[in-house]
Structure 1
Amino acid sequence: MRTGSDTWSRLKCYGKERAGHMRLYRIGTGCMRRREIGIIGGGASGLMAAISAAQADSSGSCKITVLEKKDRVGKKLLATGNGKCNLTNLSFSVENPQQYYRSQNPEALSGLFAQFGVQDTLKQFRRMGMLVMDRNSYVYPLSQQAATVLDTLRFTLEEQETEVVTDCAVEKITVSQKGRDTEFLVRAGGEDWLFGKLILACGSIAGEKNADFGGYALAKALGHTILKPLPALVQLRCAGSFWKGLAGVRCDARIQLLISGRGTKESYEEQGELQLTDYGISGIPVFQLSRFAAAALDAGRQVKATIDFLPGFRDNEALWQELVEEKCTSCRQRSMEVLFGGLVNKKIIQTAVKLCGLSMGDRAERKNLPAIRKVFALLRSFEVQVTDTNPFANAQVCAGGVPLTEVDGHLESRICPGLYLAGELLDADGRCGGYNLQWAWTTGYIAGKDAVLSLGKPAGQRKKGKRE
């Protein structure tokens, strides 16, 4: 660590030297104050942590620094919600978070969302000057541009004079104990930084072309367990030589995921717009199921997906059987194209007919009746073997990370006092629909606020439910 009296570190605001925003800090134990918060990661949770910390600092004397390895903060935010940024969901219920999130320790979720939930998120963004709209409970910025969310966060950081240093990858964190206090020496971007409290908000490797497990490695080096990260909210690759003929089809469907092996069986169901690709299945209902498929495949279990291309008949099987008999009667001696025409997308019909040993030009006659009934059954129960998920680069989030049992109700580490964890580094991943960003806002807010309120107080000295 540099300690010379002439050693200075010039901090960059959003990677640029901006007039009026450049501040100089002397680096060294005699000049770097302990009342400084370090945040590693400039994604959604890290930016919210910085804003929350500044808001909790009633004296305005706490210096907050965000270290971001990329050339700018919040890059992933710009891609969320197809560029519109679905930032939360009004359907969420704090009483039953397990309906929306998956974790090995789901019992911890309610307490966190009770501290900062959906309505708190809406109030926070309104306070920062951003208006929102909701579409079927999905909340977006009124502009329907993800850039608006990022700009709102950035402008708030500037107003709070929070220092953001980009192109600043963390190389090493050294923890030193002074009595009951902890200090964190962070080597990043060729500089040494000394923090009294440190928040890890590095995100996951989801969406990254080059898998970088750096955030997990930092948490592990500080004593934490890492539950193996796996792709979640991702496409599923399936066996079969017919997928190229189905590529590009979008349709409403019900998908049932069947998992077997290791002496147990499980099933999960979702319905929505299914997308067929040249390698398998995609779309929101597949994303919702993909977490379970990824975990099962990683454990060496068998995974099958059964697709119902006509889910509207699910609750009226009698009507479906009546339709089948009517079709077989009225279309007698007519081609398969006529017999099955209009039921589902033509590409699906062509594939099903071929798989049942028929061709589109074959006639609906007695000898073909068994195969015809197989086609009807296949449209309701199209079973495929899931062989893999797409890689991390295609995933929206990751499952796994630091167990929630290793942080307390304020997200402070139970293993390394003074260290906080937020966002995707923690073992909680949500469904599609704004839930993962809500997790980022919730954990970032709690960690940032508590890190400031705990400054100067020994670890564990707090009132029930909140800092003194």
Structure 2
Amino acid sequence: MKYDAIVVGGGPSGMMTAITAAQRGKKILLLERMEKLGKKILATGNGRCNLSNSYLDEGCYRGEQPGFPYRLLEEFGLQELIQFFESLGMLMTETQGYYYPASFQASTVAETLIGKIKTLPIQVETGFEAETADKKKDTFRVYGNGVRYEGKNLVLAAGGCAQEKLGSNGSGYRLARGFHHRVTDTFPALVALEGKGSYFQWTAGVRNTCRVTVYANGEKIAAEKGEVQFTKYGISGIPVFQVSRYAINALRRKKKITVMLDLMPDMPTLKETAEEFRKYCGYKNTEEFFQGFLNKKLVYGILKRLGIRPEIPIRKLPAKDFRNILQMIRRFEIEISGYKGYDMAQITAGGVSTREVVPETLESKKLRGLYFTGELLDVDGTCGGYNLQWAFTSGYIAGRQIGKDDTN
């Protein structure tokens, strides 16, 4: 049997491609290496599945061509995504600009998509590892599990390298290279950073709102604000994830990476307030005094880093030491030594070069009938639903093109 399209990858972009094309009367084969479709969806948004976001600007997506996704998002963005899921009987709800399924369960999203697939001319093969693919005359051929499938079009929607246990193992890059497509450097993104120093043993477990500023060889390259999680190896949390791409990219280029944390970003009068408190809290020791400002583990870590004895009465603390403590609260410096791998990353940075893809259709510029969607492309978004929105958007665009009459 020859299908109208073979879709390799049963994640959000692959399922969207299949549904969109099949709704236009096309016969689709959907291949997934895991035992079930949509496993990666189940892990998104801490199991709640943050599907999209009401906020969108030029900084929400990154890549060799960071502006590449925006034209397509104008065609199929938040409102179109809401309408799509409502057409499948699933409501979406908004919380501070973040959009979730109304059930706040990622399983609802996966089951809604799978339920629709079952009603359409889509053949699903799970547990299928696509080993190689080629094109002979007007037919794409995909090989794996000892069989060969044929289709008029081929969509590579196999994801990146992040979280292999959920399905993404980088195999899509191998297939893309087999069709002579360039794959830009890939590395983990939206991931925790590792730091040098023994002081993490004292701060591990703390969650603290910080301003996070990243410097590469002394030059500021990124900044975010939010709740940072201190770990035994370094720092984690959403603001760290947001800046991790820039830090890792520079680190891979052998630059010295420093993260500066303002531990009290919402306290502009820190110096004046601390000096005022010192006047009538002289009965406290230094550690007790600064616990009135910060988590006690952070206070202890700062004092240990500065070599200041915690038990010194605050009234006897030398002025220089007092200033140094306040300065470290404002500039808690961490030298970055590394980062966590793909198994802990939410997304892969890099991928199939968007310069070799038709922007309006996501069809290959090199080979007619070949399409790329989702994380496989060199498009990665920040935290907040942007990567799932891109997955659905790109899947819709490719599926729509395939779903047109035989003029593509």
TM-score w.r.t. length of structure 1:
0.84
Paired amino acid for 1:249: V
Distance 1:424 1:304 in 2: 28
* 2:51 pairs with 1:54: no
On the 8 A contact 1:331/1:338 being kept in 2, the answer is no
Gaps of 5+ in 1: 1-31, 460-468
Q: What RMSD over aligned residues (CA atoms) do the two structures have, in Å?
A: 1.6
Residue 243 of structure 2 corresponds to which residue in structure 1? 289
* 2:180 pairs with 1:226: no
Percent of aligned positions that are identical = 38
Moved more, 329-338 or 221-230: 329-338
On the 8 A contact 1:87/1:434 being kept in 2, the answer is yes
Residue 402 of structure 2 corresponds to which residue in structure 1? 451
* Pairing 1:431-442 to 2, within 5 Å after superposition: 431-442=382-393
Paired amino acid for 1:251: N
Distance 2:95 2:406 in 1: 45
* 2:89 pairs with 1:132: no
On the 8 A contact 1:211/1:393 being kept in 2, the answer is no
Distance 2:95 2:237 in 1: 19
On the 8 A contact 1:256/1:268 being kept in 2, the answer is yes
Please give the per-residue CA displacement for 1:383-403, whole angstroms capped at 9, x wherever unaligned.
Answer: 010111100100000110012
Residue 36 of structure 1 corresponds to which residue in structure 2? 4
Paired amino acid for 2:247: A
Paired amino acid for 1:393: D
* 2:169 pairs with 1:212: yes
Residue 153 of structure 2 corresponds to which residue in structure 1? 197
Distance 2:261 2:249 in 1: 20
Please give the per-residue CA displacement for 1:150-184, whole angstroms capped at 9, x wherever unaligned.
Answer: 0000000001131110011011112112xxxx311
The match for 2:131 among 171, 183, 186 is 171
Structure 1 pair 167/367, CA: closer, same or farther in 2 (3 Å)? closer
Distance 1:140 1:211 in 2: 23
Distance 1:206 1:421 in 2: 17
Report the CA distance between 1:366 and its aligned residue: 4.8
Residue 421 of structure 1 corresponds to which residue in structure 2? 372
On the 8 A contact 2:160/2:375 being kept in 1, the answer is yes
On the 8 A contact 1:197/1:419 being kept in 2, the answer is yes
Please give the per-residue CA displacement for 1:244-267, whole angstroms capped at 9, x wherever unaligned.
Answer: 221111111111111128xxx333
Distance 1:429 1:352 in 2: 36
Paired amino acid for 2:330: R
Residue 36 of structure 2 corresponds to which residue in structure 1? 72
Distance 1:142 1:271 in 2: 28
The number of residues matched between the two structures is 406
On the 8 A contact 1:37/1:452 being kept in 2, the answer is no
Paired amino acid for 1:130: M
Report the CA distance between 1:326 and its aligned residue: 1.5
Report the CA distance between 1:109 and its aligned residue: 2.1
* 2:301 pairs with 1:301: no
Residue 355 of structure 2 corresponds to which residue in structure 1? 405
Report the CA distance between 1:333 and its aligned residue: 6.0
Residue 281 of structure 2 corresponds to which residue in structure 1? 331
Distance 1:84 1:202 in 2: 23
Other structure's SS at 1:91 match: coil
On the 8 A contact 2:159/2:168 being kept in 1, the answer is no
* 2:55 pairs with 1:101: no
